[in-house]
Amino acid sequence: MLVRINETYDEVSKEGARLVAELVRRKPNCVLGFATGSTPLGMYKELIRMHKQEGLDFSKVTTFNLDEYVGLPPEHDQSYHYFMWENLFKRINVNQRFVYIPMGMAADVEQFCEWYEAQIVKAGGIDLQILGIGANGHIAFNEPGSSLGSRTRIKTLTGSTREANARFFTNQDQVPKYAITMGVGTIMDAKTLLLLASGEGKAAAIQATCEGPITAMWPATIVQMHRQATVIVDKPAASKLTLKY
């Protein structure tokens, strides 16, 4: 695990974008795994800038998103479909046919999850998976206690996650109770992992991820077992690390 500590969120975003852009230039038909949440927004802005000003070309890229709320249609303004199109996809030149996001309205969730896993395999696997991290150590919606070998499936969101995400809804009761999420095992199959974190609220989770024992109670700790993982954090998110990097 390579841990990179930057001064600011802006630098975290730019470094993340640089690594994604390097891959897209080296392998124009690469498979990118995208994440939602506040953390990757700065990186997405930088990727949009690179597309507009430097001609970074996403036309051959295939994308898979980590997760989606169950019960929210793609046009709902808090769905992750909406988030991705608003904040990235409609501002770059991705081909809609190559965009995969879990379908929160799937009639048969189990069948959908199997199909989603199969599409990842068919695309040749994910070359680079972008990850945020929850204050509780979740990656995607793999909440504490998730099997470290899990595949794409439906998960119940914990109270702390629903509380953290209530800021996007009118109140906490509006936050969906379930999500479809790639499993921890699905994420670990990606060839490269890029985990971004910013702010003191993530410091305990980052400390556990980089220095703690591997445990399903902090699902992100499994990243220690990945052969090509980079963790990019700002100073506040790094503030509880005890080793010198």
**Nearer to ligand PGA by C-beta: 138 or 153?**
138
Instruction: List the one residue out of 86, 90, 97 whose CA is nearest residue 61.
Output: 97
**Count residues contacting ligand PGA (CB under 6 A)?**
7
- What the block records as the tokens of 45 is 């802005």
Give every CB contact of residue 141 below 8 A, 6+ residues apart in sequence: 66, 67, 155, 157, 161, 179, 180, 181
For ligand PGA, which residue has the nearest CB? 37
Residue list 138-177, contact with ligand PGA (CB under 6 A): 138
Whether 143 is catalytic is yes
- Other beta carbons within 10 Å of 174: 12
Considering the rule CB under 6 A, would residue 37 count as an interface residue with ligand PGA? yes
Considering the rule CB under 6 A, would residue 183 count as an interface residue with ligand PGA? no
**Nearer to ligand PGA by C-beta: 29 or 155?**
155
CA-CA-CA-CA dihedral for 55, 98, 80, 141, to nearest 10: -110
Residue list 101-140, contact with ligand PGA (CB under 6 A): 132-134, 138
Whether 211 is catalytic is no
Considering the rule CB under 6 A, would residue 222 count as an interface residue with ligand PGA? no
Give CA–CA dist 42/59, Å, rounded: 21
> Which is the catalytic residue, given 143, 165, 226, 234?
143
Whether 138 is catalytic is yes
Give every CB contact of residue 27 below 8 A, 6+ residues apart in sequence: 127
List interacting residues with ligand PGA (CB under 6 A): 37-39, 132-134, 138
Residues involved in catalysis: 67, 136, 138, 143
